[in-house]
Amino acid sequence: MLSDDVLDRIDEIVPPGTDLNKFDADHAPRAPLDKTLRRR
């Protein structure tokens, strides 16, 4: 378990709930990325 101090410093750099590495984060809604989902 990391200390609160370390976790706070990580939060400063990478805010909670955000992604730095977009490639691994495909939770984004699909429709904006796939036009067939918008034009049915």
Partner 1 sequence: MKRRILGGTGISVSEYAFGAMMLGKWGNPDHESGIAMVRTALDAGINFVDTADMYSDGENEEIIGKALKGRRDDVVLATKGHFPMGPDENDRGNSRRRLTRALENSLRPLDSDYIDLYQIHRPDHTTDIEETLSALSDFVRSGKVRVVGSSMFPAEQIVEAQWVSERRGLVRFRTEQPPYSIFNRSVEGVVLPTAQRYGMGVLTWSPLASGWLSGRYDKASDVDLSKGRKSVQRHKFDRISRICWQGSIWC
- 3 and 10 in contact (C-beta within 8 Å)? no
Q: Nearer to partner 1 by C-beta: 26 or 32?
A: 26
> In angstroms, rounded to a whole number, what is the distance separating the alpha carbons of residues 34 and 28?
11
Place of tokens 């609160």: 4
Q: How far is the CB of 26 from partner 1 (least distance, A)?
A: 7
4 is a contact residue toward partner 1 (CB under 8 A): no
Size of the site for partner 1 (CB under 8 A): 23
24 is a contact residue toward partner 1 (CB under 8 A): yes
33 is a contact residue toward partner 1 (CB under 8 A): no
> In angstroms, rounded to a whole number, what is the distance separating the alpha carbons of residues 14 and 21?
11
